Structure 1
Amino acid sequence: MNNDLLNELLAQEDEIQLSYFNNQTAWELGSAIKLAAEKISASVAIEVYAFEHVLFSYFMPGTNKDNHEWVRRKRQTVMRFGHSSYYTGQYNASKNRDFEAQPHIDAKEYCAHGGSFPIRIKNSGIIGTVTVSGLPQEIDHQLAIGALRELLVNQN
């Protein structure tokens, strides 16, 4: 597995830390992902989760119950392990192991497929996640971090 990719994913987590986050920010973040998905004619499920609540949830036409489960499992992975679901999957692949097959992982509750990214507040840590499901994991991940970066620019 490519250590450059792992380092890049960790660098994204260091880079993308917000100054503040609230319900309005969650709405802006989720809406930005919806617009980005529409621009590429993609159908995705979007969730913004913070402060132990789902603050934004939108399932575009063409999504289904499976997307809901993917979103939940990706979010659970980030909240438990503290890294993006994409990083978690790539890290485990670099160790030649299947994340979901490990004895301490319940595959009904967790998955290590890209698309969920931690929402961090500078000097405070993780307060939630933004999750996208419906496209290949790299694209789900890019939609999430693209919208977070846009939000970060607007906060500075």
Structure 2
Amino acid sequence: MTQDDDLPTFTAEQIEQQLAELTFDSFDQEAAYALGTLAAEIVRERGFALAVQIVIGDHIVYKAALGDVEEGTTEWLRRKSNVARRDGVPSLLVRRRAEALGEKAAEDADHAPHGGAFPIVVDGTLVGTITGSGQPDVVDHDVVVSALRSYLAN
């Protein structure tokens, strides 16, 4: 677990820049495996208890849980991913935009506007999501963004 003093911070503007930057020319199950494995290695290197899931369409194509992730994390993965799919932006951005308006982002049984889910966009079309859950949501977001950046750099 990360100490609160060590938590990364992300503004809405920073997340919007990440969204613009982290797009794909193509994405399939092979890419999902490579990206997911890279994310899992980041989780392992950082010593976190965190689950990573990649969904293409409605199909879970990659899932890994490391470091004694709790059983309830599966629901968090689903609910965060649903936010990114519904809104086409990272789940943390949904929360940050609401906070900028002095509001609390709407949450329900199927949607959790907490950091960790990031849309996978190919040529302007949302094709899936990568989601991390198990740490404070800004850490989940940071792991996912780190994996995306590393994958896209290669």
Matched with 1:138 is 138
**TM-superposed deviation, 1:52:** 2.1
**TM-superposed deviation, 1:65:** 2.3
Moved over 3 A (4+): none
Q: Which moved more, 1:24-33 or 1:58-67?
A: 58-67
Supply the RMSD in Å over aligned alpha carbons.
1.3
Q: Deviations over 1:67-123 (max 9, x none)?
A: 1111000000011111100100111111111213xxxx5x111011100001011x2
**TM-superposed deviation, 1:30:** 0.8
**TM-superposed deviation, 1:41:** 0.7
Q: Report the TM-score, using the length of structure 1 for normalisation.
A: 0.88
Distance 1:56 1:96 in 2: 36
Matched with 1:99 is 105
Gap runs ≥5 in structure 1: none
Percent pairwise identity: 24
Gap runs ≥5 in structure 2: 1-9
Match of 1:62 among 68, 76, 81: 68
How many residues align structurally?
Answer: 145
Matched with 1:18 is 24
Question: How does 1:51-90 map onto structure 2 within 5 Å?
Answer: 51-90=57-96
CA contact (8 A) 2:47 2:67 kept: no
Q: Deviations over 1:16-48 (max 9, x none)?
A: 011111111100111111110111110111100
Q: Report the TM-score, using the length of structure 2 for normalisation.
A: 0.89
